[in-house]
Chains A and B, each alone.
Chain A
C-alpha cells in the first residue's frame, strides 16, 4: 500500500467500521537512509575531481565522465577499468549512471561547472572547490586512483572502448 489510493481505501473502510465520518490519524513519515552515491554534493565532488585530474584542459566528454564514475563505484570496477584501458582489451561491461546528469545540472546551478558542445568544463569556482576537497583528503582512495590514471586515458581511447558495445 505505497500509493495514496491505498491509504484512502483503508480510511474509508475504517470510517464505515467505526460509523464515523471523520478519522484522525497521526502519521509519521519516516526518513530513509540514502546510499552515499545518491548524495548530490558527493557526486558533484567526484565529477569535479575527475575533470580536474583526468580531463584534458579542465574539460571532459560526458561519455568519458560516465566511464570514470562507473570506475569509482567499487574496487572491483577499478580493476575492470584497468583491464579495459590496458592494451589487452578484455571485455568487461560498464554502465551509464542516470544520476550523473542530475548531478551535473546541480553543479551548473552552483556555478562549479559548465556544459559546452557536449563537454563538461570545470569553472574557477569548481577548481577552488577541488582544492578544498584535496586539502581535506576526502575520497582518499578514489583520489589516489584518479591521480594514478591521470590524463593517460584519452577521449579517443574512450570512443574505442565504447565502440565495442555501443556500436
Chain B
C-alpha cells in the first residue's frame, strides 16, 4: 500500500519564506485549481519527492516548475527570486516516513533525506534520518543507499529480473512500475502506460503490469528453465554412466542387460544381468568368477609341478598353442583386410555425402534465385517463354531431349533424400567398423596371450628339470589376476547401477516438479487475474460511456509475445492496441477504465498494486461531462484506497458542479490562486 499523507513546498525567496502545505485523506481527493494556480506544481513535487520525476520526461530539478526554481509570483505580477527550495513528502505503508529533497540549494538534488515518522502532520525531527541517492551512476542505485531500492523495500515489493534489449538480465526499474497507477497530464493520456521512462527493457509496459498484478509468469519461466537444465544434467550423467559400461562391453565381452538407455524410473525391482561371453556362450559374470575361483582352488591344492614332470605335456601343448597362434594370426589378417575395405567404403560415402550436401546447398540457392525471379516478375520460373509465352521446361537441355524435369522443391526433396540415404549407409558402415575394431582388439589380446604362452613353454622346455614349471606358475598367476580383475569390474558395474538408481530418484523428483508446472506460461491463478481485469475493464468501459467498439471485441491480451496484458482488439490474425480504433475521448475513457480495473483485481486476488491512483487532468479530449461524472462517482467507491484527481474543470463552477454531481464522500482541496504563498497564509 502507498498512502500520500501530506506534501509541503518550502521556498526561500528574496522576500522571505514562501510555500504551501497540503494534507490528503484516504479515498478520493480532488485537487481543484485553474491552470496557473500551480496544482501541477503539487503533482510534480509529489513525484519529485519519490524520485519518480522521470515520468515527467526528465531527471532532477530540471523537471520542476520555474516557480520552485527561479521566480515566485505573488501576488499577481510581482516576482521574487528563489534562493532555495525543497519539497517534503509524508507517506505511509506499514510505517510512516517523511522524505525531503532539495530542488534548489546547497544540498545536491540527487539526495533524498528520509526521516522516520510523520514530519509534516506530526512533529518534525522526531526520528532518525538517512541520506539516500537517486540517479547515481556510481552504482548506489540498487544498493543500500539507493533511494529506489529503499522505496522498493518500503512498499514491500520484490522487483523481478527481466531481459534488457541487449539480452542481459536486469532488475525491473521501479520507475517503470509507477506509470501503472499514475497518469501524467501532458503525455500520460496518449496511451496505456505511456510515460514509462526508457531503460532499454523489452516490453517494459507488459513487465510493469505483470509485476503489478503479481503474476506467476516470471516464476514459471524461471522454473521451466531450471527444470530444463535439470533434465539435461540428469540425462547427461545417465548417458556417461552407460557409456563407461559400453566400453567394458567392447573390450572384455561383458554385457549388462536391463539398463534403460534414457532416464527412467528404475530401481532394484527391475531385473538386470551382468554376463560375459566365454568362448561363444553367455554366462553370468558372477558364475564365471566362481568357476575361475574353483579352478584356482583346485590348482592351489596341487603342488607346483616341476619341469621334468610336465615335459611330455608341454610338447603337445606347444604344438597346440602354436596352432592357435597361427589361426589367430590368420583371423587377425583377414579381419584387418575386411576393416580396410570397409574404411575405404566409409571414405567413399563421406566424399559422396559432401558432394550431395554441396548439391543440396546449391539447389537451395537456386530456389532463392527463382523466388527472386518471381518477385521481379520473370516468366522463366513459371515455365513460360518470355517472348512467345509458350510452355517451356525449366532446363537448358536441347529441345530434342525429352525429359520432364523436377521442379525445384521436388529436386530439393530428392537431394535431401539422397543425403539421408548416404548418411544412413555411412553411419551403418561406421558402426560396422567400430564393432569390427573391437573384435580385432579381442583377437589381438588373445594372440598376445597365446604367444606369451608359447614363449613360456619354450623357456620351460629348455630349463632345468627340477625347477618349478614356469607355465604352471604363469597359469596360476593369470587365473588369480583374472579373478581379481573380473571382481573389480563387477564392483564397478554394481556401483554404476547404484548410481543409476540414484539418478532415477532424481528423475522421479524432476518428473514430479515438471508436473507441478503450469501447462502454458500462465498458471491458473494468472489466468483468473487476467480474466478479472478483463471483466472489470469491460464493465467500466460501459459505465464510462465508451462507444467506439463493442466491449466484447475488446480483450486483455493473454499472449506473452503480443502486447501482453494491454487492452487489444483483434482483426484477422493481427492483434492491435485499441487506441487505434477509439475516438479521442473514448481513449480517455478506456484509460480510466483500465487503470481502475488494474486496481480492482486486487480486491479478490493478491497483487502488488499500492491501492493508489493519481490522475493529472483526466478530463481530456472534450470528454463529455456525463462520462466524467460516472468516472468520479466510481472513484468515490474506492474507500480503502487513495485516489487523486488534479483538475481545472475548465475553470468553470458549472462544469465542476456537473462532474461532481451526486458525489459527496471526497476531500476537496481548492487552490484559489497561487499555490506558493507566504508562510503564514493557510490553504484549505
Contacts and interface: CB of A to CB of B under 8 A. Distances in A.
Interface of A: 29-45, 99, 102-103, 106, 109-112, 125, 128-129, 132-133, 136, 138-140
Contact of A33 (B368, B373, B387, B411): B411
B146 interface: no
5 closest cross-chain pairs (CB), A and B:
A109-B386, A99-B396, A36-B362, A31-B404, A109-B387
A149 B153 CA distance: 67
B394 A34 contact: yes
A34 to B, nearest CB: 5
Given A41-B370, A129-B372, A138-B369, A103 B396 contact: yes
Interface in B342-379: 359, 362-363, 365-366, 368-370, 372-373, 375-376, 378-379
Contacts of B394: 34, 39-40
A129 B376 contact: yes
A110 B396 contact: no
A70 B368 CA distance: 22
B396 A39 contact: yes
A40 B387 CA distance: 15
A38 B397 contact: yes
B415 A110 contact: no
Given A39-B394, A42-B369, A132 B405 contact: no
B406 interface: yes
Given A31-B405, A32-B405, A132-B375, 10 more contacts: A29-B404, A33-B415, A36-B365, A40-B396, A42-B366, A106-B386, A109-B379, A110-B378, A136-B368, A138-B365
B318 interface: no
B385 interface: yes
A30 B396 contact: no
B405 A40 contact: no
Contacts of A40: 380, 394-396
A73 to B, nearest CB: 11
Given A32-B406, A34-B395, A139 B365 contact: yes
A33 B366 contact: no
B195 to A, nearest CB: 40
A38 B395 contact: yes
A127 to B, nearest CB: 12
Contacts of B473: none
A109 B392 CA distance: 13
A134 B138 CA distance: 48
B403 interface: yes
B78 to A, nearest CB: 68
Contacts of B387: 109
Contacts of B369: 41-42, 45, 133, 138-139
Contacts of A109: 379, 385-387
14 contacts: A31-B404, A31-B406, A32-B403, A32-B404, A33-B415, A38-B396, A39-B396, A41-B366, A41-B370, A44-B380, A99-B397, A109-B387, A129-B372, A139-B369
